[in-house]
Amino acid sequence: MLSRLIGHGPIEVGKTILLAFVALIAAVALQQLAAARSDRTSGQADRAAVLTLAADFGKELTTYDYAHPDVQANRLAPLTTAQVQAQVKRAFPDLALYKAVSVGERPDAYLQTLVDGHARVLLQTRSNMQSEYVPPGTKASGLLLCDIRRERSGWRVSGYRWLTPVTEGVS
CB atoms within 10 A of CB 72: 23
The Cα–Cα gap between 108 and 102 comes to 18
List 50's β-bridge partners, or say none. Answer: none
Q: Work out whether the CA dihedral 14, 17, 22, 25 comes out positive or negative.
A: negative
Domains of the chain: 48-170 (3.10.450.50)
pLDDT number for residue 152: 93
Measure the CA–CA gap between 59 and 159, rounded to whole angstroms.
Answer: 15
CA 104 to the chain's CA centroid: 19
pLDDT the model gives residue 7: 62
* 46 contacts 154 by C-beta, under 8 angstroms: no
Residues of the chain with pLDDT under 50: none
Q: Give bridge partners of residue 113 from the DSSP assignment.
A: 120
In angstroms, what is the C-alpha Rg of the chain?
Answer: 28
Nearest CA to 123 out of 50, 55, 61, 72 is that of: 55
Residue 61 near residue 105, CB atoms below 8 Å: no
Residue 76 is predicted with a pLDDT of 97
The helix/strand/coil state of 64 is strand
- By residue count, the chain amounts to 171
